[in-house]
Structure 1
Amino acid sequence: MSKYTDPAKDLLDHIGGKENIAAVTHCATRMRFVLNDPKNADIEKIEEIGLVKGTFTQAGQFQVIVGNEVASFYNEFVKHAGVDGTSKEGAKVAAKQNMNWLQRMMGHLADIFTPIIPALVVGGLILGFRNVIGDIKLLDDGTKTIVEVSQFWAGVHAFLWLIGEAVFHFLPVAITWSITRKMGTSQILGIILGITLVSPQLLNAYGVAEADKIPVWDFGFAQIEMIGYQAQVIPAILAGFVLVYLERFFRKISPNAISMIIVPFFALVPTVLIAHTVLGPIGWTIGSWISDVVYTSLTSAFGWLFAAIFGFAYAPLVITGLHHMTNAIDLQLMSEFNGTNLWPMIALSNIAQGSAVLAMIYINRKNEEEKQVSIPACISCYLGVTEPAMFGINLKYGFPFLAAMLGSMVAAIISVGSGVMANSIGVGGIPGFLSIQAGDWGMFFISMAVAIIIPFILTVIFAKANVGKISFGKK
Structure 2
Amino acid sequence: MGKYTEPATDLLQHVGGKENIATVTHCATRMRFALKDPAKADVTNIESIKLVKGTFTQAGQFQVIIGNEVSSFYNEFVSIAGLQEASKEDVKNAAKQNMSWLQRMIAHLADIFTPLIPAIVVGGLILGFRNIIGDIKMFDGSTKTLVDISQFWGGVHAFLWLIGEAIFHFLPVGITWSISKKMGTTQILGIVLGLTLVSPQLLNAYAVANTKASDIPFWDFGFAQVDMIGYQAQVIPAILAGFVLAYLERFLRDKVHNSISMIVVPFFALLPTVIIAHTILGPIGWKIGSVISTVVYSGLTSSVGWLFAAVFGFAYAPLVITGLHHMTNAIDLQLMSELGGTNLWPMIALSNIAQGTAVLAMIYINRKDQEERQVSIPATISCYLGVTEPAMFGINLKYGFPFLAGMIGSLFAGIVSVGSGVMANSIGVGGIPGILSIQPQYMGMFALAMLVAFVVPFILTIAFSKRPKMNLKTRTKTTKLNA
8 Å contact kept, 2:180–2:190: yes
Paired with 1:145 and 1:276, the residues of 2 have a C-alpha distance of 41
Paired with 1:14 and 1:117, the residues of 2 have a C-alpha distance of 35
Partner of 1:417: 419
Partner of 2:274: 272
Partner of 2:318: 316
Three-state SS of the structure 2 residue aligned to 1:152 is helix
Paired with 1:470 and 1:80, the residues of 2 have a C-alpha distance of 33
Aligned residue among 314, 337, 340 for 1:338: 340
TM-score, length basis structure 2: 0.97
Please report how far the alpha carbon of residue 471 of structure 1 lies from its aligned counterpart in structure 2 after TM superposition.
Answer: 4.6
8 Å contact kept, 2:468–2:474: no
Partner of 1:307: 309
Matches within 5 A, 1:87-102: 87-102=87-102
Paired with 2:153 and 2:303, the residues of 1 have a C-alpha distance of 40
Paired with 2:163 and 2:469, the residues of 1 have a C-alpha distance of 50
Question: Which letter maps to 1:462?
Answer: F
Aligned residue among 450, 466, 479 for 1:448: 450
Matches within 5 A, 1:117-132: 117-132=117-132
Partner of 2:29: 29
Partner of 1:5: 5
Partner of 2:377: 375
The number of residues matched between the two structures is 475
8 Å contact kept, 1:364–1:472: no
Matches within 5 A, 1:104-115: 104-115=104-115
8 Å contact kept, 1:407–1:455: yes
Please report how far the alpha carbon of residue 77 of structure 1 lies from its aligned counterpart in structure 2 after TM superposition.
Answer: 0.7
Moved more, 133-142 or 81-90: 81-90
8 Å contact kept, 2:401–2:464: yes
Three-state SS of the structure 2 residue aligned to 1:257 is helix
Question: Which letter maps to 2:463?
Answer: I
Paired with 2:447 and 2:8, the residues of 1 have a C-alpha distance of 45
Three-state SS of the structure 2 residue aligned to 1:426 is coil
Q: Does 1:401 align with 2:420?
A: no
Partner of 1:41: 41
Three-state SS of the structure 1 residue aligned to 2:259 is coil
Paired with 2:119 and 2:42, the residues of 1 have a C-alpha distance of 40
Paired with 2:383 and 2:455, the residues of 1 have a C-alpha distance of 15
Please report how far the alpha carbon of residue 82 of structure 1 lies from its aligned counterpart in structure 2 after TM superposition.
Answer: 1.3
Moved more, 217-226 or 459-468: 459-468
Identity across matched positions, percent: 76
Question: Which letter maps to 1:258?
Answer: I
Q: Does 1:196 align with 2:220?
A: no
Listed one character per residue, the Cα deviations across residues 420-442 of structure 1 (whole Å, up to 9, x for unaligned) are: 00000011100000000000000
8 Å contact kept, 2:469–2:475: no
Please report how far the alpha carbon of residue 467 of structure 1 lies from its aligned counterpart in structure 2 after TM superposition.
Answer: 4.3
Three-state SS of the structure 2 residue aligned to 1:405 is helix
Question: Which letter maps to 1:353?
Answer: Q
TM-score, length basis structure 1: 0.99
Partner of 1:252: 254
Partner of 1:84: 84
Partner of 1:56: 56
Question: Which letter maps to 1:313?
Answer: A
Paired with 2:133 and 2:317, the residues of 1 have a C-alpha distance of 34
8 Å contact kept, 1:421–1:436: yes
Partner of 2:480: none
Question: Which letter maps to 1:191?
Answer: I
8 Å contact kept, 1:229–1:280: yes
Partner of 1:65: 65
Question: Which letter maps to 2:91?
Answer: A
Three-state SS of the structure 2 residue aligned to 1:384 is coil
Gap runs ≥5 in structure 1: none
**What is the alpha-carbon root mean square deviation over aligned residues?**
1.2
Question: Which letter maps to 1:228?
Answer: G
Aligned residue among 431, 435, 438 for 2:437: 435
Question: Which letter maps to 1:373?
Answer: V
Please report how far the alpha carbon of residue 466 of structure 1 lies from its aligned counterpart in structure 2 after TM superposition.
Answer: 2.2
Listed one character per residue, the Cα deviations across residues 192-251 of structure 1 (whole Å, up to 9, x for unaligned) are: 000000000000001011112110000111111000000000000000000001100111
Please report how far the alpha carbon of residue 469 of structure 1 lies from its aligned counterpart in structure 2 after TM superposition.
Answer: 2.1
Partner of 2:138: 138
Partner of 2:295: 293
Partner of 1:325: 327
8 Å contact kept, 2:398–2:473: no
Partner of 2:467: 465
Paired with 1:374 and 1:406, the residues of 2 have a C-alpha distance of 20
Gap runs ≥5 in structure 2: 478-483
Paired with 1:116 and 1:298, the residues of 2 have a C-alpha distance of 26
Aligned residue among 218, 224, 227 for 2:226: 224
8 Å contact kept, 1:128–1:436: yes
Question: Which letter maps to 2:303?
Answer: A
Paired with 1:227 and 1:339, the residues of 2 have a C-alpha distance of 22
Paired with 1:17 and 1:120, the residues of 2 have a C-alpha distance of 41
8 Å contact kept, 2:400–2:470: yes
Question: Which letter maps to 2:245?
Answer: L
Please report how far the alpha carbon of residue 474 of structure 1 lies from its aligned counterpart in structure 2 after TM superposition.
Answer: 12
Paired with 2:192 and 2:372, the residues of 1 have a C-alpha distance of 52
Question: Which letter maps to 2:283?
Answer: P
Question: Which letter maps to 1:99?
Answer: M
The change in CA–CA distance for 1:470 and 1:363 in structure 2 (over 3 A counts) is: farther
8 Å contact kept, 2:204–2:229: yes
Moved over 6 A (4+): 472-475
8 Å contact kept, 1:399–1:467: no
8 Å contact kept, 1:333–1:340: yes
Please report how far the alpha carbon of residue 23 of structure 1 lies from its aligned counterpart in structure 2 after TM superposition.
Answer: 1.1
Paired with 1:466 and 1:165, the residues of 2 have a C-alpha distance of 54
